[in-house]
Amino acid sequence: MLKIWDYVFLLRPVAMLPGWTIILLAQRRNSFNSASTEKLVLVLLAATLLYSGVYVLNQIFDRETDRLNKKLFFLAEGLISIRMAVWLTLLFSLSGIMLSFYLSQTLGTLFFLLFLLSIFYSIPIISFKNKPWLGLLANGIGFGVLNFLVGWCIYSGLSWKGVLYSIPYFLAISSIFLNTTLLDMEGDKRVNKITLGIKWGSTKTRWVSFSLILATLISAVLLRDLPIMVTSAVSWIFTLRMIHSKRITDIVLTNKISILVLSLWGGYFYPWYLAFLIVGFLATKVYYKYRFQMNYPV
């Protein structure tokens, strides 16, 4: 029988780190934003609800590949029913969207676009994730651009300046996504899923990921965005190592280091977020050790 903690970790809190962090950094980046944290916390709550629904939706349609790639056990191994997963998707997604519209029409519109993009990404009829370029763009635009604009618009309206400042995050998320296609290649091939990792092969995909990180660094320097500048510089070094070693472990390490460095920047500007990260990391560590006898996250 599943317990409350099982449902919490079904929602993949570790996968929410980039989304949370980008919202915080975008909020700080906008010089028109207020210093008040009340609305910021509510936006993060709305984002958490929406992410939860989106992640469960994706797991519903990725059950077979998740089973083959040996990850996200809950739906892949039948620990939770499809019917329950559908209800969780609706509950969390709609709650997040309603809360965002309560906060502002602009935020509500951005959240709705994120949800719409996740539907296009996941459901078989359209399935952006099974179309190489659309899968890349959906992740880059969703987590890199729209997610950044959520943070940008917490206390101000939408602007082209916000879109401009989101460019490094679009490039960084695109690079991370490319790396994940390499991690899932074997399982994806067995279910006839076509990603850029499969289409291009390992070597070309690594070099494109390297190029995207270099473009991230250049755009961050031009836009004077210190957090993403430092993060991309560190990631660039690890990506170069990943290219030469050709080891799967180095791909995993590159993604983890990139997310960690960016998250620490969020914690630097918002100490309460750093405390939240530490508690969340320890809780996740204990849970996976107890529940699945796994050393995760490492």
**Counting beta carbons within 10 angstroms of the beta carbon of residue 43, is it exposed (0 to 12), middle (13 to 18) or buried (19 or more)?**
buried
Residue 196: pLDDT band with limits 50, 70, 90: confident
pLDDT, one tens digit per residue, over 138-188 is 999 999 999 999 999 998 889 999 999 999 999 999 999 999 888 878 777
Share of the chain above pLDDT 70, in %: 89
Does 256 score more than 70 pLDDT?
yes
- In this prediction, residue 247 carries a pLDDT of 86
Three-state secondary structure call for residue 156: coil
Q: Name the pLDDT band for 72 (thresholds 50, 70, 90).
A: low
User: Could you tell me if 161 and 98 are in contact, meaning their C-beta atoms sit under 8 angstroms apart?
Assistant: no
Q: How far apart are CA 129 and CA 47, in angstroms?
A: 21
The pLDDT, as a whole number, for residue 131 is 86
pLDDT score recorded for residue 74: 67
d(CA 112, CA 96): 9
CB 62 within 8 A of CB 193: no
Six token digits for residue 208: 């494109």
The sign one gets for the Cα dihedral 188, 198, 233, 44 is negative
Find, among 15, 17, 7, 68, the residue nearest to 191 by Cα.
68
Q: Which residue has the higher pLDDT, 36 or 236?
A: 236
State which H helix or E strand residue 127 sits in: none
Half-sphere exposure of 201 (CA within 13 A, CB side): 2
Q: Is the pLDDT of residue 222 over 80?
A: yes
∠ Cα 226 231 233 (to 5°): 95
**Residues near 289 by Cβ (< 8 Å), separated by ≥ 6?**
295
The fraction of the chain above a pLDDT of 90, given in percent, is 51
State the pLDDT at residue 63: 74
Rg, Å, the chain Cα set: 18
User: Of the ranges 47-51, 82-86, 116-120, which one carries the lowest mean pLDDT score?
Assistant: 82-86
DSSP output for 89-144: HHHHHHHHHHHHHHH-HHHHHHHHHHHHHHHHHHSTTT-GGGSHHHHHHHHIIIII
CB 139 within 8 A of CB 211: no
More confident residue, 55 or 35: 55
Q: What's the rounded mean pLDDT across residues 31-43?
A: 77
Instruction: Give the model's pLDDT for residue 58.
Output: 83
Q: Packing angle between helix 248-269 and helix 226-245, nearest 10 degrees?
A: 170
Asked if residue 217 has pLDDT above 90, the reply is yes
pLDDT bin (cut points 50, 70, 90) of residue 263 is very high
Q: How far apart are CA 23 and CA 13, in angstroms?
A: 15
Asked if residue 6 has pLDDT above 70, the reply is no
Mean pLDDT of 98-104: 96
H or E stretch at 72? none
Burial of 51 (0-12, 13-18, 19+ CB in 10 A): buried
Which residue in 143, 159, 176 sits closest to 25, CA to CA?
Answer: 143
Give 261's DSSP letter: H
| Residue 35: pLDDT over 60 | no
For residues 181 and 47, the model is more confident at: 47
Pair 216, 167: CB distance under 8 Å: no
- Alpha-carbon distances, residue 8 vs 56, 61, 125, 220, 275 (angstroms): 11, 20, 29, 35, 19
Ramachandran assignment for 49, one of left (phi > 0), alpha (psi -120 to 50 degrees), beta (any other): alpha
